[in-house]
Structure 1
Amino acid sequence: MKVIKCAFFILLFFCSYSYSQTNKITVQVNNVIKNISPLMTGACIEDVNHEIYGGIYSQMIFGESFQELPMHIDAAVNPEFAGLSGWLSCKASRDQHKDESEIRSWQPVKTGTSSGSFSIDSIQPFVGKQSQNINFIGGVGTIGIENRGLNRQGLYLSGKQPYEGTIYAKTNNPVQVYISLQSEDGSVTYAETAVIVTDVAWTKYNFTLTPTRSAIHARLAITLHQKGKVSLGYVFMQPGSWGRFKGLPVRKDVVDGLIKENITVLRYGGSMTLADDYRWKNMIGPREKRKPYKGIWYPFSSNGWGIIDFLDMCSVTGIVGIPDFSTGETPQDMADFVDYVNGNNNTHWGRKRITDGHKQPYHLKYIELGNEQFNNQKLTDKFKLLADAIWSRDPYIQIVFCFSDETREDTKGDLAYIKQTIDHCQKIGHQAWFDVHIFNDTEKQPDLKDFEFAESQLKSVAPDSSFRLCVFEENADNARMRRALAHANAINRLQRIKYDVPIVCAANGMQVDHQNDNDWDQGLLFFDPKHVWGQPSYYVTKMMAENYLPQVSESNFASKSDTLDVTSCRSTDGKIVTIQVVNSKSTSVNTDVQLNYYDGTATKVTVSELKANSLEDWNTVDEPNKIVPVKSEITSSNNGCNYTFAPYSFTILRFEQ
């Protein structure tokens, strides 16, 4: 009998211990903590790692206006250049990836016994500092140049689809110029046409090429087949309307990828705005005549796609667009910009917008000024002048100011300058918004000290003022699953904290595969000339945006051994509840889930789960769907359920009546 009693108590002990170890998520549905913005599922794009020029911009030619450094053509070094001499624009240094080739754009073409020379025209260039001269001297065959797109990665051609293009050329004597789409080594020609260049002045020549079949690693060749000279100032080629989004100069497949991500807001800008010649008026007018400039990320940058093109894309996709501006802009230029985008035909710049083909105003709501610049009186005074100019034209635009890292805990900083901006805005009836950048490179709880410290510091110097903080760059320096979990963690925490965070954007929104020229290897949407695919962090944004609900409810995760990051949201009427759960551990976590004070009965629980076998897993061009969300349904009992959260996973449980 004693043995039986002993066994009974042992069983009771283990049952009690097991019960005490049960993990539980409890949601107090009617205890609403705060309202949240739908603009917390955004991305930042700028021309870093060729997101734009060589990326989403439909221009397929890299080195379009021959601004790159000249390469000396020497047959002693390159035997394949025998019979050729001179200089060809094609080189750009690698600041970080120095083991990569400096040859970025054009290379010589020669066939047969032909001979020729190349030279740089820096006296009367078409645009920028220089143009390219080609001279067929003699022999039989061809002389010319060929281009394989961004960093010579190769062009992708879709068979039997038209490609449209333009060259600007001049000559002293009429010469026939051949334009062709060829295989990588030139042995196969997929399409060819010719134009006769006759004018001594720079003249535009349009062409259309329709390849006979699809090809990868193709090239565009521009050649002379007989004795003559030609100067080239600009070359443009893009897919026909079939390959562009609603006729805009952007790749349709890339924009489709952004739309499928359910991105709600895009910020265009960042360090690129710090370039001396980054000015919005340089980004309008005919693309070929827009001034190239020395960019922060690429020394021979193109203005072919700029702020207005960005707003065009946002307006047709329904994505909220936020352009970032250089503080080098003048107050008058910013006033003109507001007239251009939001003014009517009563203003000069409003009429110019209409003339440029955009009849209706853009109704722009947000403008950012600056990017991570050091706080000083000169910058503060410039912020005030630019803000006043913007609000003089449209007082309803919300301005977001981006100061430097001086607001971070590990630097002293002079918050008095920021206080001046807050006070100035408040004095004239506006609320100051600030952009705080955070770094988030591991699967663990994101380090939000920069954000939280900025808020506390600003409150300390302006306790009676109203301001708001945004995150326009959630940086990570990787695109792996650990970044995805960190990204989910960051949004979860920014939704829960007491501060009202109106906008959150992850950087970088896009990235060209294998073409990163620096260490910001963190794109959400990857692509190459043929393919487009999302990374795990892309799908986190997609899941969050698809399941957006406007209110955060109180939630709690109880466990003695496990750790989950949990945020619960609800619809305004409380009939739909979501629970966003991040499990960054290598083990699964079985959890009871309970909704308290839920008015009604949940009849359906939809599960969206993103998981990986390793924190270092990601999606590649060969395995683009290795890590994608999987949807399922589970049953609900008494407004609750039991669910096992997989290792390395982000999961959303959606309860609906």
Structure 2
Amino acid sequence: MPPRNRLLKNIIYTIILIQPLVVFGQRAHIAVNAAQVLNNIPANLYGSCIEDVNHEIYGGLYDQRIFGESFEEPKPNPSFKNWTVYDGNWTQTNDGIKVNGGPGFKLVNNKPLTGDYTLQVQLKFIKTGLNAGLLLNVDKAGMGADNFYGYEVSIDARRQMLVLGKHLNNWIPVKEEKININGSDWTTLKVAVNGNKLSVYLNDAKEPALVYTDEKQPFPAGKIALRTFDAEVEYRSLMVTQGSKTEKLSFEAAPVPAVSSAWDGFNTTQSGSFSIDTEHAFNGSQSQVIVHEGGSGIIGVANSSLNRWGIALRKGQTFAGSIYLKAQNLQGPVTVALQSADGRKVYALQNIANISSTWKAYQFRLTSNTTDPKARFAFYIAKKGKLWADQITLMTTGKDQFKGLPLRADIAVKMQQQGLNFVRYGGTMVNAPGYRFKKMIGERSKRPPYKGHWYPYSTNGFGIEDFLQFCEAAGFEAAFAINIEETPQDAADMVEYLKGSINTTWGKKRAQNGHPQPYKVKYFEIGNEEVIFNGDNAAEYDHYIERFTILHKAMHAKDASIKFINSAWWRPGSANMERVFKALNGKADYWDLHTDADAPNSGLKVDSTLTNMQALFKKWVPDYKMKCAIFEENGGRHDLGRALGHATTLNAVRRHGDFVLTSCAANALQALGQNDNGWDQGQIFYTPSQVWGMPPFYSQQMAARNHQPLRISSDVDKGLDVTATLSSDGKTLVIHIVNPSNQTIQTDLQIAGFKNRKPTAKVSLLSGAVNAENTPEHPDLISTKTNDHIFNGDLIQHDLPANSYTILRFER
């Protein structure tokens, strides 16, 4: 879900988690009747959602160790005196500064203000987007769209709206006022900060356009910043007034080498130079150029992988790579190497001679002579000449890759160990205009980069087909989403490519690309969270109905066995829902419902939502065909509370049986310290050299390992969340119990209809502090403990620890 549409959810989740569920010493009673089967349980219940947010793919599962492989990133921002850049490409103008459009780019002044002040700036939109403006009383700023505390005052030129909001590592809209401006003209934006009161003025107006007094949680005076959200904008005349003193803030900057910003240049020559060629790239829009003017010394560039964490090496580990090069009057070879972070130690190198004057791929293999978790890859020249470079690949080999695929084996295996049996590839990434299937197939080096939603310089090195190969190798049922603006012909060709015989035009292309057999994928989602950005918009729902219908017709004609998922945003109180349902029922097999799972007892809300959804479906069409698929079970945390939220969500889905296809916890992966969207919710975390499960990983694993296909009758009191399940042969009974309270609960359990049970039962337990997380230093702090317990007699007494998920497994 995009940051701008989360509203108050992050705050609400926090409030829920800090309000304890108190139980005052009473005993709880659970009654299970194995003779009363209520419904089947979805076979594909144990799902996960993966997309390229927080670098789940590019820098994560995808084995490519070079980050910035296509040199699409512009040269770095200048080093601005007294300013810190947090995302975006900020460049000086004659009397100010401008920035490209992107998700929450900000430029923060390093000097905090104290006391009351007035901040004023002039801005104009070069390309309109969501909004642009000022940040006030900023604290705890970091990379990422909403990663800071403070107020935002911005102008939305498209909607002609003045917007005021708050950020606490999220986005909380506070107030809006209608305005009348020309976004392409200079607009003066002025904010007077007087204690907890903000007064906002536009242009020469003497009366404020907006006034807000923060009575609940005012931010103290702090830093100020410029910020844009998806708008290319220019600023000038930034002034701050305190008392009788007014100061104009400048943007002094030191020049930086023209090296693509994911790379670092190094130069020991007297006169070598760097430049970025935007006209003759091999692929994408630009390539890196290095010039050696002769004499001694070397000049080159180095890459330290995602976030400049370093490339983790083991002694004897071999990497295979390729690099596209061309040269002009180059008198020596190009050297590729694995080095220490500072470049002083060389762990492996290879010289590539006779570089062509036209683009050509050169292969290399590098075997490290040492272990270093923070190494870098570099290439350089030591002789006179000019060198162009583009499309660089560096991947592991052998056991480090998952079943011969370009995937990190340690991450892929960890996902298998979680017990997943269904993985959905989708999310807001598919809403990017450049996200198109035909750009994702064939030779990786020729797949065009595109402007992604989460990362502006996204690679197509991993796409839908690569995802399907991963699921095929891992044994996961696969589902994926496509952009709703795909053409009908391209959508039909996609189905033929994935599922057609080799005698078809596109099936033959698939075989030529290395996969002769058709893929067994059957779940196709059209879009993602459609009609979410601008609220409950009837025209947008109509557009989605139109696009779904067109694409469904084209795709269904190619393969009638496909199961289609409708991604229109679910608003149960909206009259638009009935219209969407009636238009798509019979075409869409499932409606994608996105739920929340941060609170330990989240399943209660999920249960209610599913009950209401099913009732509405039946009301609208009594013999309805469409069911539900939970393709994103979202939240903002990855602690034990979230693990319990997932467990109670699974309990809720069990109660709704065949109505729900799966529940895909979001998100599958997260790079340590990487949070691009405020939804800090990875189930599996990783660094270049380590992979470990967070508490939700273990609740999923527990549930999957103890899956049984039949739900049987269970009654419970005292705030526990319980489901009971039975094997098809009636020999195994499993009880899932979540205690979401902060107190141990003593429990009496009675089991009927399960005679001749063995006295020894398996007890699996996940418990601890509700906000506890696993760390690289303590990766198993919160993990499952399984033991055998003796339970004699008809009445079983068992204590359920506070904040716990317990599974009791009985056999007979």
TM normalised by structure 1 equals: 0.89
Which letter does structure 2 place at the counterpart of 1:551?
Answer: L
How far apart are residue 197 of structure 1 and its match? 4.6
Give 5+ residue unaligned stretches, structure 1: 1-19, 78-90, 426-430
Which letter does structure 2 place at the counterpart of 1:246?
Answer: K
Alpha carbons 1:438, 1:451 under 8 Å: kept: no
Alpha carbons 1:154, 1:218 under 8 Å: kept: yes
Which letter does structure 2 place at the counterpart of 1:594?
Answer: Q
1:233 counterpart residue number: 390
1:629 counterpart residue number: 784
Q: Could you give the per-residue CA deviations for residues 355-414 of structure 1, whole angstroms, max 9, x where no partner exists? A: 222122212121111111125222212211211222212211211111124x244x5545
1:616 counterpart residue number: 771
1:266 counterpart residue number: 423
How far apart are residue 643 of structure 1 and its match? 1.3
Name the SS for the 1:126 alignment partner.
coil
Q: Could you give the per-residue CA deviations for residues 56-99 of structure 1, whole angstroms, max 9, x where no partner exists? A: 0000001100111223788999xxxxxxxxxxxxx997736874
CA–CA separation in structure 1 for the residues paired with 2:802 and 2:261: 42
CA–CA separation in structure 2 for the residues paired with 1:367 and 1:640: 48
RMSD: 2.4
Q: Could you give the per-residue CA deviations for residues 266-307 of structure 1, whole angstroms, max 9, x where no partner exists? A: 000111110111111111111011010000110000000110
Please state which structure has a larger fraction of its residues in helix.
Answer: 1
1:250 counterpart residue number: 407
2:582 counterpart residue number: 419
2:495 counterpart residue number: 338
2:97 counterpart residue number: none
Residue number among 365, 370, 379 corresponding to 1:213 in the alignment: 370
Q: Could you give the per-residue CA deviations for residues 569-603 of structure 1, whole angstroms, max 9, x where no partner exists? A: 11122211100011112221121222101143234
2:51 counterpart residue number: 46
Q: Could you give the per-residue CA deviations for residues 92-133 of structure 1, whole angstroms, max 9, x where no partner exists? A: 97736874479961011123x543111111111111111111
How far apart are residue 444 of structure 1 and its match? 2.7
Alpha carbons 1:472, 1:504 under 8 Å: kept: yes
Indicate yes or no: 2:766 matched with 1:647.
Answer: no
2:320 counterpart residue number: 164
CA–CA separation in structure 2 for the residues paired with 1:438 and 1:589: 28
Give 5+ residue unaligned stretches, structure 2: 1-24, 83-99, 108-140, 145-259, 532-539
Alpha carbons 1:59, 1:236 under 8 Å: kept: yes
2:65 counterpart residue number: 60
Residue number among 564, 567, 576 corresponding to 1:402 in the alignment: 567
Q: Could you give the per-residue CA deviations for residues 213-255 of structure 1, whole angstroms, max 9, x where no partner exists? A: 1101111111111222100111110111221001101000000
Q: Given the superposition, is the C-alpha separation of residues 640 and 235 from structure 1 closer, same or farther in structure 2, using an over 3 Å criterion?
A: farther
CA–CA separation in structure 1 for the residues paired with 2:345 and 2:80: 24
Indicate yes or no: 2:480 matched with 1:323.
Answer: yes
Indicate yes or no: 2:667 matched with 1:508.
Answer: yes
2:451 counterpart residue number: 294
1:142 counterpart residue number: 298
Name the SS for the 1:313 alignment partner.
helix
CA–CA separation in structure 2 for the residues paired with 1:408 and 1:151: 41
Alpha carbons 1:96, 1:517 under 8 Å: kept: no
Q: Given the superposition, is the C-alpha separation of residues 140 and 485 from structure 1 closer, same or farther in structure 2, using an over 3 Å criterion?
A: same
2:709 counterpart residue number: 550
Q: Given the superposition, is the C-alpha separation of residues 76 and 30 from structure 1 closer, same or farther in structure 2, using an over 3 Å criterion?
A: closer
Residue number among 578, 583, 591 corresponding to 2:739 in the alignment: 583
CA–CA separation in structure 2 for the residues paired with 1:254 and 1:528: 10
Alpha carbons 1:327, 1:370 under 8 Å: kept: yes
Pairwise mapping of residues 36-185 of structure 1 onto structure 2 (< 5 A)? 36-71=41-76, 95=104, 99-100=141-142, 105-111=262-268, 113-174=269-330, 175-185=332-342
Number of residue pairs aligned between Structure 1 and Structure 2: 614
Which letter does structure 2 place at the counterpart of 1:324?
Answer: A
Alpha carbons 2:602, 2:646 under 8 Å: kept: no
Residue number among 370, 381, 390 corresponding to 2:546 in the alignment: 381
CA–CA separation in structure 2 for the residues paired with 1:52 and 1:238: 14
2:690 counterpart residue number: 531
Q: Which stretch has the larger CA shift, 483-492 or 65-74?
A: 65-74
CA–CA separation in structure 2 for the residues paired with 1:140 and 1:76: 34
How far apart are residue 464 of structure 1 and its match? 3.3
Name the SS for the 1:530 alignment partner.
coil
1:481 counterpart residue number: 640
Which letter does structure 2 place at the counterpart of 1:396?
Answer: S
Which letter does structure 2 place at the counterpart of 1:596?
Answer: A
CA–CA separation in structure 1 for the residues paired with 2:750 and 2:710: 18
Which letter does structure 2 place at the counterpart of 1:419?
Answer: K
How far apart are residue 462 of structure 1 and its match? 2.5
1:9 counterpart residue number: none
How far apart are residue 566 of structure 1 and its match? 0.6
Residue number among 7, 32, 37 corresponding to 1:32 in the alignment: 37
CA–CA separation in structure 1 for the residues paired with 2:307 and 2:783: 30
Q: Given the superposition, is the C-alpha separation of residues 358 and 622 from structure 1 closer, same or farther in structure 2, using an over 3 Å criterion?
A: same
Q: Could you give the per-residue CA deviations for residues 436-467 of structure 1, whole angstroms, max 9, x where no partner exists? A: 10122212344325544443433333233222
Alpha carbons 1:61, 1:235 under 8 Å: kept: yes
Alpha carbons 1:601, 1:639 under 8 Å: kept: no
Name the SS for the 2:416 alignment partner.
helix
Name the SS for the 2:661 alignment partner.
coil
Indicate yes or no: 2:602 matched with 1:602.
Answer: no
Indicate yes or no: 2:467 matched with 1:467.
Answer: no
Q: Given the superposition, is the C-alpha separation of residues 414 and 362 from structure 1 closer, same or farther in structure 2, using an over 3 Å criterion?
A: closer
Alpha carbons 2:70, 2:392 under 8 Å: kept: yes
Name the SS for the 1:358 alignment partner.
coil
Q: Given the superposition, is the C-alpha separation of residues 479 and 624 from structure 1 closer, same or farther in structure 2, using an over 3 Å criterion?
A: same
Name the SS for the 1:470 alignment partner.
strand
CA–CA separation in structure 1 for the residues paired with 2:730 and 2:59: 46
Name the SS for the 1:487 alignment partner.
helix
CA–CA separation in structure 2 for the residues paired with 1:554 and 1:644: 21
Q: Which stretch has the larger CA shift, 490-499 or 225-234?
A: 490-499
Name the SS for the 1:503 alignment partner.
strand
Name the SS for the 1:472 alignment partner.
strand
Q: Could you give the per-residue CA deviations for residues 624-646 of structure 1, whole angstroms, max 9, x where no partner exists? A: 01011011011132455221111
1:87 counterpart residue number: none
1:10 counterpart residue number: none
Which letter does structure 1 place at the counterpart of 2:34?
Answer: V
Which letter does structure 1 place at the counterpart of 2:785?
Answer: V
Residue number among 455, 461, 478 corresponding to 2:614 in the alignment: 455
Name the SS for the 2:276 alignment partner.
strand
Name the SS for the 1:69 alignment partner.
coil
Which letter does structure 1 place at the counterpart of 2:562?
Answer: I
How far apart are residue 497 of structure 1 and its match? 3.6
Q: Could you give the per-residue CA deviations for residues 515-567 of structure 1, whole angstroms, max 9, x where no partner exists? A: 22221210001111000000110111111111000010110114xxx321111
CA–CA separation in structure 2 for the residues paired with 1:116 and 1:452: 69
Please state which structure has a larger fraction of its residues in strand.
Answer: 2
CA–CA separation in structure 1 for the residues paired with 2:81 and 2:684: 43
CA–CA separation in structure 2 for the residues paired with 1:347 and 1:473: 35
Name the SS for the 1:458 alignment partner.
helix
Alpha carbons 1:115, 1:139 under 8 Å: kept: no
Q: Could you give the per-residue CA deviations for residues 24-66 of structure 1, whole angstroms, max 9, x where no partner exists? A: 2110111111101121111000001100011100000011001
CA–CA separation in structure 1 for the residues paired with 2:758 and 2:774: 35
CA–CA separation in structure 1 for the residues paired with 2:657 and 2:378: 59
1:23 counterpart residue number: 28
Name the SS for the 2:624 alignment partner.
coil
Q: Could you give the per-residue CA deviations for residues 418-448 of structure 1, whole angstroms, max 9, x where no partner exists? A: 31111x53xxxxx631111012221234432
Name the SS for the 1:71 alignment partner.
coil
Q: Given the superposition, is the C-alpha separation of residues 498 and 527 from structure 1 closer, same or farther in structure 2, using an over 3 Å criterion?
A: closer
Which letter does structure 1 place at the counterpart of 2:704?
Answer: A
Which letter does structure 2 place at the counterpart of 1:190?
Answer: Y
Percent identity between matched residues is 36
CA–CA separation in structure 1 for the residues paired with 2:623 and 2:143: 56
